[in-house]
Amino acid sequence: MQTYAYRFPRLGRNREFKTAVENFWDNKINDKELVGLLDAVEKERLASYKKYIDIFPLGESTYYDTILDTAFIFGVYKFKNLNEYFEYARGKRALALKKYFNSNYHYLVPFLPKGIKFPLTWNKPFLYADASSFKGNPVSLIGPYTFLRLSRTENDFNSMMANLCESYKRLFAQLKTNGVHTVHLEEPAFCDDVSGDDVRLIVKNYRNLIDGDLKINLITYYGSVDFLPRLYGIPFHAFALDFVSNRENFLTLSKKGFPKDKKIICGVVDGRGIKRCNIFDAVKFTRKIQKICHASDESVLVSNSAPLFHVPVTIENETVLDASIKKNLSFAQEKLYELYLIKSAWEGKTASARAWCAHLPAERSVAKKKVFDTLSLKPGEFAQRKSIQQKVLKLPLFPVTTIGSFPQDKELRKARFEFKSKHLSLHDYDDFIRDKISGLIEKEEELGLDVLVHGEFERTDMVEYFAQRLTGFLTTENGWVISYGTRVYRPPIIYKKITRNNVLALKEMFYAQSLVPRIVKGILSGPVTILAWSYNLRPEPVYEIAFELAAALNKEAKALEANKIKIVQIDEPAIREFAPLKERDKDFYYRWAVRAFNIAAQLSPYTQVHLHMCYSEFGEIIKWILKMNFDVLTVEAARDKGKILAALSGKNFDRSLGPGVWDIHSKYPASEKTIRTILDKSIKIVGVRNVWINPDCGLKTRAWPEVETSLQRMVKIARIYRKKFKKHRVK
């Protein structure tokens, strides 16, 4: 048996990737220097593999995103230099960001126009390796079906697939001439819902694409492949299957067997969680797979179950994490070691494996599919709340607000750093934050915003901050994970019962409200999002943890309400992303997820509840959004100038809507024309009286000049619209 691993994080042990790319953007280094720095990170990444892994792909790295790279390889876009490359990620030509399946990694969405022929354009597979290094290793590529599913397509899908596969065929031929013998082809979309028509399309095109001369390892992850047996007739060299997400792949193999001539790459080490792997269970399980597949030792490989970029680089970077917890954890580097241990134990060498698993706690119990009551209000109750709130809040038409965070500048990062390194006392740090808050409040009044926010300066991150104040969480020092491009976050770790023993963020919000008569909106991160963006070590079913979190957050929300905060916003950007991929599993998930939100949002009708979601394709889950107890929904809408809002049409949406009118991933300020277009669309959908104006999301990563310009424009347009629709005002 052999070890196989893929998608080890590109970030670098000390976030060297992020530093290098951002320095390039800031013109601190040139493109040659950038390439040099990234080569060094890549070398270290490959060295991690080489230490423990028999087979790993080459060419996995990227300047920004692998899906964007695939678009460049197949001529959807072209670039001549790195500045042009990054234009597609963050410049004038920036593509939309979307969550990669049900993960918090965001990819760039290519647009494939009618008739596109996919000319081979970029030689990426040769970027990180010369022909000699291909010897034992496959070359990494995203598969055609996944690429199409993740893109926005204008043409008929079938002919596009045929054209694209022709290009893959040509690419494969080129690879072969250049000494490549194996391709690592990732098709996670095979684990999504795939229609019967698509299965036929896949089978037909792959038959034509693969001639057996070049070996193709088909890599699937994030779930099971329902149509696996249909792929048996295609001359793939190996199948990588996820055995961690659920038992379905295993059941398929038990029922349908596995072709004798193919290798099976068993994804048994969790690529997405950080719980240490029980090596002996993994060996036992892999033996079982071997048996039902009637496979020889040579045909079995062990692997990670999903890309390793979902976990931080190494646990070695954690110096203060509680030792009793640390010995139950494993990050990417350690997962490679686990694969090596599985192989060793398989071969009878068990001493190291024994030491590795000496302290493992109980396994997670499988969540039983109960039908939870979502605790939704009746439709009429929202109208009642609306009329009460109109009297309490006395807001103008088209109230202008923001989503919560404001630019976190150097000064703030410096203060945080000094506080952390004990050069600044808690008292002085608190004073500093208060000054930031009062400065912002003044600024917001000056700008003429209608509902103010305190700016979230105390929060490093919307999840980590809450995790640090709730009981039941641990946070890491260096457990960074990329969420998109060079943006990183540190997911906290849930390890015991979650309770709110201390206040979370209300001090800062009360302070902000004490400064002004104008309404300050209190902002909390939602239970599902906190759960989705944390690692979970607990054995209980996941919904129980969601309800615990929701109850803790509701305590905080109630405390806000009891202290003059009239609007409470709960952020749930992760609610769709955390959903299982397949339709048949969704009802169960959304029932408990909506219930969790509704527990957190249980407030009197005098308190207006805002739900903020972003980059979550809310259009697909309207049915569930309507079951959530909020009064105002804020969603991103700027990139496609409000087209996304059409999803709300004809759905009896009886609440208010705050469409994002400024794309906060772009460095350019909001345009007045776009603001107007989006407002006009919103008015058509929810009516004049129910439209708010706000940016797509928080402004944490933006700079003040563009923030100021954008907010000024929003206020200006709001005033124009108020005049225009004067007669609609509620007296």
For Zn ion, the closer of residues 214 and 632 by Cβ is 632
CB of 664 to Zn ion, least distance (A): 8
**Neighbour tally for 604: CB within 10 Å:** 10
Instruction: Verify binding: residue 611, ligand GLN, rule CB under 6 A.
Output: no
Q: Does 711 bind ligand GLN (CB under 6 A)?
A: no
x-or-dash pattern for ligand GLN, window 549-578, by CB under 6 A? ----------------------x-x-----
Q: Which is nearer to ligand GLN, 700 or 713 (CB)?
A: 700
Provide the H-helix boundaries in 500-639. 506-515, 527-532, 542-562, 583-600, 622-625
The site string for ligand GLN over 172-211 (x = CB under 6 A, - otherwise) reads ----------------------------------------
Which residue, 526, 671, 669, 679, is CA-closest to 609? 526
**Residue ranges in 376-435 that form contacts with ligand GLN under rule CB under 6 A:** 403-405
Q: What DSSP assignment string belongs to 612-661?
A: E--SS-GGGGHHHHTTS--SEEEE--TTTTTGGGGGGTTS---SEEEEB-
Beta bridge partners of 217: 184, 238
Residue 405 CB, nearest distance to ligand GLN (Å)? Answer: 3
Q: How many angstroms separate the CA atoms of 490 and 483, rounded?
A: 10
Q: List the interface residues with ligand GLN, window 500-539 (CB under 6 A).
A: 523
Which one of the listed residues 106, 610, 612, 665 is annotated catalytic?
665
Structure tokens at 602: 């249980």
Distance between CA atoms of residues 415 and 436, nearest Å: 11
556 binds, among ligand GLN, Zn ion, none (CB under 5 to 8 A by kind): none
Q: Judged by CB under 5 A, which stretch of 340-348, 530-538, 593-601, 613-621 contacts Zn ion?
A: 613-621
State how far the Cα of 724 lies from the Cα of 731, in Å rounded to an integer.
16
- Are 149 and 193 in contact by the 8 Å Cβ rule? The answer is no
Per CB under 6 A, the list member of 612, 639, 681, 713 interacting with ligand GLN is 612
Residues of this chain, 663-722, that bind Zn ion according to CB under 5 A = 697
Amino acid identity at 179: G
- The residue number with the shortest CB distance to ligand GLN is 698
Quick check: 441 binds ligand GLN (CB under 6 A)?
no
Q: Considering Cα of 152, then 157, then 160, then 165, what sign does the dihedral take?
A: positive
Euclidean distance between CA atoms 560 and 285, whole angstroms: 50
Mapping DSSP onto H, E and C, the string for 139-172 reads EEEECHHHHHHHCEECCCHHHHHHHHHHHHHHHH
Q: At what angle do helices 506-515 and 542-562 cross, to 10 degrees?
A: 30
Say how many residues touch Zn ion, by CB under 5 A.
Answer: 3
Give CA–CA dist 527/271, Å, rounded: 23
Q: Which stretch binds ligand GLN (CB under 6 A): 310-318, 340-348, 694-702, 719-727?
A: 694-702
Select 147 or 484, whichever has its Cβ closest to ligand GLN: 484
How many CB atoms are closer than 10 A to CB 250? 17
Nearer to Zn ion, 109 or 367 (CB): 109
Is the distance from CB of 54 to CB of 4 less than 8 angstroms?
A: yes
Site for Zn ion in 565-594 (CB under 5 A): 573
CB-based contacts of 136: which residues, under 8 Å, 6+ apart? 54, 55
Q: Is 644 in the site for Zn ion (CB under 5 A)?
A: no
Decide if 665 is catalytic.
yes
Q: How many chain residues bind ligand GLN (CB under 6 A)?
A: 13
Question: Residue 395 Cβ, how far from Zn ion at the closest point, in Å?
Answer: 22
- Of 672, 667, 600, 602, the C-alpha closest to 641 is 672
Among 29, 512, 579, 614, binds Zn ion (CB under 5 A): 614
String of contacts with ligand GLN for each residue 453-492, x by CB under 6 A = ---x-----x------------------------------
301 binds, among Zn ion, ligand GLN, none (CB under 5 to 8 A by kind): none
Active site residues: 665
Which residues of the chain form contacts with Zn ion (CB under 5 A)? 573, 614, 697
* Footprint of ligand GLN (CB under 6 A): 403-405, 456, 462, 523, 571, 573, 612, 614, 697-698, 700
